[in-house]
Structure 1
Amino acid sequence: MSRAASRPPWELSGDAKRERVRSLFAAITPTYDLMNSVMSLRLHHRWRRAAVGLLHLEPGARVLDLCCGTGDFAFPLRQVVGAAGVVVGLDFAEPMLKRARAKGAPMTPALGDACAIPFADASFDAVTVGWGLRNVPDLDASLAEARRVLKPGGRLVSVDMALPKAAIPRAFAMLVHRAFIPALGALVGRRQEYTYLPRSTQEFDSPEALAERMERHGFRNPVIRRLFMGNIAIVRVER
């Protein structure tokens, strides 16, 4: 066994993290939508709609959904941009894209890496990413790429898990992360994978730190909204 193979994915970076995370998400694809609904009490659709609302999109807009998974962001995006708009879903896990196609996600699927986006400069009005930035192998590269493909004035919005600021809600969230979510994963035979998902949240930037990182990459006017007692954070910035 290689040294990288013996380390947990949150300790990896670069190609080692890319391949581990790709394998992880390929493995959980069959139960991904069900688990998202259970863990979020079916609220993740509402959170995505809230994020889309912060983009102020017009009909006909072009949107790129990074780390699109099974395409859930495509539904509220399509409602806003309409039939004349373009919604592209990019993911590096092909099983996720196949699942998105199977459930009729209204987007154009694209197999690719968020750290090397296969589209031209200034080609999108907005970029979305849901529960994805903490999984990319190089966060700074992915933010630089997101800015590159955005048109001037375009917006990037991220929705993800977060840890509440207040002590008691934070302690409860940590208990859920360490015990409940892995136990839930065990019910579908994926304890190891659902140990990574909450742990990756603990190891990731806080919403405030993420907004500051985005500003270092040339984004501006950050907006942070915390939902679900601080356990979900929406971060929106402008190019």
Structure 2
Amino acid sequence: MAQSTQTPPWEAEGAEKREAVRGLFADIAPTYDLANSIMSARGHYRWRAEACRLIGLTDGESVLDLCCGTGDFLVAAKAAVGQKGSVAGLDFCAPMLAIAAQKLAGSADLMLADATELPIASSQFDAVTVGWGLRNVPDIGKTLREAARVLKPGGRFVSVDMSEPKGFFGPVSRWAYHVSVPLLGRILRKPEAYAYLPKSTERFMDRQQLTKEIEAAGFTRVHSTSRFFGNIAIHWGVKA
């Protein structure tokens, strides 16, 4: 039997990566929320809420969440901006977006679209958020520039994503992560899909590199912090 020559999603680039990642998330959509809560010990809820606080979301503001997936960042953003505020979410994976639609029950505008080519006019939002999304897009720089474009002058941006832990706990944390996530994938009967997470994290930018990339896209006052023993990085900044 001939072996498949398809590039693994963590090695794919450009349009090939886009389609590979779209298919991967369509496959895991039904178990995505459960897996997130298990892998993070439910910390992902806290980190999204913290991200909203770091950029100072307040009542009445407008927020766009890129790569919104099943909508948990939209839930956090809506809690921050209240009934007078508005939230919109965008994702290129229809099964993930369908779960978000059920979860938000009409309290968010949802769009099936690509984060590298936003179907949105310029200077529309007070804030743009993205959770665990930059690592998955085919062009990080273009995605960040699009985020800057749709922000109002002085608008804020925040990203929460995976990061390779460093320092004393780095080797132990990396080992535990690279063992536990594939194990969870086997339990959920999605071994190939969950192999993507640690492998894509290995290939992702470190905190300093991502800071420079965000600055290059047109943001200033860019800061970052880490959580979960260095496995999570939060970056935030202001449109220049």
TM-score normalised by structure 1 residue count: 0.95
What is the CA distance between 1:83 and its match in structure 2?
Answer: 1.2
* Superposition map of 1:198-217 within 5 A: 198-217=198-217
Residue 124 of structure 2: aligned partner? 123
Following the alignment from structure 1 to structure 2, what is the Cα–Cα distance between the partners of residues 128 and 30? 23
Following the alignment from structure 2 to structure 1, what is the Cα–Cα distance between the partners of residues 83 and 130? 21
Following the alignment from structure 1 to structure 2, what is the Cα–Cα distance between the partners of residues 33 and 5? 31
What is the CA distance between 1:229 and its match in structure 2?
Answer: 1.8
* Structure 1 residues 70 and 177: alpha-carbon distance in aligned structure 2, compared to 1, 3 A threshold: same
The runs of at least 4 consecutive aligned structure 1 residues that moved more than 4 Å come to: none
What is the CA distance between 1:60 and its match in structure 2?
Answer: 1.3
Following the alignment from structure 2 to structure 1, what is the Cα–Cα distance between the partners of residues 5 and 21? 12
Following the alignment from structure 1 to structure 2, what is the Cα–Cα distance between the partners of residues 112 and 229? 33
Residue 23 of structure 2: aligned partner? 23
Stretch moving more, 208-217 or 103-112: 103-112
* Structure 1 residues 20 and 4: alpha-carbon distance in aligned structure 2, compared to 1, 3 A threshold: farther
Residue 225 of structure 2 aligns with an amino acid whose one-letter code is: R
Does the 8 A contact of 2:66 with 2:128 survive in 1? yes
Deviation string for 1:115-168 (max 9, x for gaps)? 0011110111100000010000111110110110011111110001112220x4
* Superposition map of 1:34-73 within 5 A: 34-73=34-73
Q: What SS class does the counterpart of residue 73 from structure 1 fall into?
A: helix
TM-score normalised by structure 2 residue count: 0.94
What is the CA distance between 1:4 and its match in structure 2?
Answer: 9.7
Deviation string for 1:150-196 (max 9, x for gaps)? 11111110001112220x42112221332210111111111111110
Residue 67 of structure 1 aligns with an amino acid whose one-letter code is: C
Stretch moving more, 168-177 or 31-40: 168-177
Deviation string for 1:32-78 (max 9, x for gaps)? 00000000001110010110001112211110000000000111211
Q: What SS class does the counterpart of residue 70 from structure 1 fall into?
A: coil
Does the 8 A contact of 2:173 with 2:229 survive in 1? no
Does the 8 A contact of 1:4 with 1:12 survive in 2? no
* Superposition map of 1:1-239 within 5 A: 6-104=6-104, 106-166=107-167, 168-239=168-239
Identity %, equivalent residues: 49
Q: Would you say how many aligned residue pairs link Structure 1 and Structure 2?
A: 236
Following the alignment from structure 2 to structure 1, what is the Cα–Cα distance between the partners of residues 163 and 101? 29
What is the CA distance between 1:5 and its match in structure 2?
Answer: 5.5
Q: What SS class does the counterpart of residue 26 from structure 1 fall into?
A: helix
Stretch moving more, 119-128 or 156-165: 156-165
Over aligned residues, Cα RMSD in angstroms? Answer: 1.5
Following the alignment from structure 2 to structure 1, what is the Cα–Cα distance between the partners of residues 151 and 5? 36
Instruction: Please list every run of 5 or more consecutive structure 2 residues that lacks an aligned counterpart in the other structure.
Output: none
Following the alignment from structure 2 to structure 1, what is the Cα–Cα distance between the partners of residues 143 and 6? 26
What is the CA distance between 1:29 and its match in structure 2?
Answer: 0.3
Instruction: Please list every run of 5 or more consecutive structure 1 residues that lacks an aligned counterpart in the other structure.
Output: none
Following the alignment from structure 2 to structure 1, what is the Cα–Cα distance between the partners of residues 4 and 79? 43
Following the alignment from structure 1 to structure 2, what is the Cα–Cα distance between the partners of residues 172 and 131? 22
Following the alignment from structure 2 to structure 1, what is the Cα–Cα distance between the partners of residues 164 and 17? 23
